[in-house]
Amino acid sequence: MLYATFINAKARMQPPIVLLIPLSASNPHRLPSTVARDDEHLLVAAAKRGDTHAFEELVNRYEAKIFRLTMNITRNREDAEDAMQDAFLKSYAHLKNFQEDSRFYTWLVRIAANEALMRLRKRRPNQFSLDEPVEGDEDLMPRELEDWGPSPEQRFAQTEMHEILSEVIDKLEPDFRVVFVLRDVEELSTEETAKALGISIPAVKSRLLRARLKLRQKLDRYFRRGATN
């Protein structure tokens, strides 16, 4: 309690950096972003001083991305929501321990990925293990290649593309999916991905290669020239 009082007293000495514009009446949860994207460290510093509005701004900024991440890993809406919620609550509870040697977002992604993985392991205990070695090269060679024709991004409407991506990623084995999502969707580095998942760098690279090739193969059915959309 004393600790909380101290934080609040300290917070009062610092001007809050986001509550310059009143909350929207139509959406009371939404705090307007009054600052540019590269102000993340200012928001984190303010949140560490106890400015709850600054933390709420960080949540507003990243909630959709974190939900996409937890959804991509768990492929289960209930688990994804729980994982997202716990990730934000834990990041708030442990904010003081965040050393700022990486972006706050990267740190948050690691927490959210772990929350999502925990739920995935619970739901599919026999289907998911990052400890298992990946198979050999034999099955990697693509077969029946065909030109994809004009840019798929122009051929498909955004919602249709979302459905296609969701369907193909859903069919990817979880241990490949997790690595792909962290590396290619969240754009973590190989080292950050290895650290987040507690696996070696060669293991990340090996799974990423397979994930990419498998996804290419799955997308082929939608994107190949003459495919019925």
Q: Which of 2, 13, 36, 145 binds other proteins (CB under 8 A)?
A: 145
Q: Which region, judged by CB under 8 A, interacts with other proteins, from 34-42, 98-106, 127-135, 147-155?
A: 147-155
Q: What count of Cα atoms within 13 Å lies in the side-chain half-sphere of residue 92?
A: 15
Burial 135-153 (b: 16+ CB within 10 A, else e): eeeeeeeeeeeeebeeebe
Number of H helices, E strands in the chain: 10, 0
Give burial (CB, 10 Å; 0-12/13-18/19+) of 15: exposed
CB–CB of 168/215 below 8 Å? yes
**Binding status of residue 88 toward other proteins by CB under 8 A:** yes
Q: Which of 22, 125, 133, 142 binds other proteins (CB under 8 A)?
A: 142
Per-residue x/- marks for other proteins, 3-42, CB under 8 A? -x---x--------------------x-------------
Q: Which of 84, 111, 178, 194 binds other proteins (CB under 8 A)?
A: 84
Q: Which of 101, 131, 132, 137 binds other proteins (CB under 8 A)?
A: 137
Contacting other proteins within 169-188 (CB under 8 A): 169, 180, 184-185, 187
Query: How far separated are the first and last CA of the chain, in Å rounded?
Result: 60
CB–CB of 153/204 below 8 Å? no
Q: Which of 65, 121, 155, 195 binds other proteins (CB under 8 A)?
A: 65
Count of beta carbons in the 10 Å neighbourhood of residue 220: 16
Q: Which residues are at the interface with other proteins (CB under 8 A)?
A: 1, 4, 8, 29, 50, 52, 55-56, 59, 63-65, 67-68, 81, 84-85, 88-89, 92-93, 137, 140-142, 145, 147-148, 152-153, 158, 161-162, 165, 169, 180, 184-185, 187, 205, 208-209, 212-213, 215-216, 219-220, 223
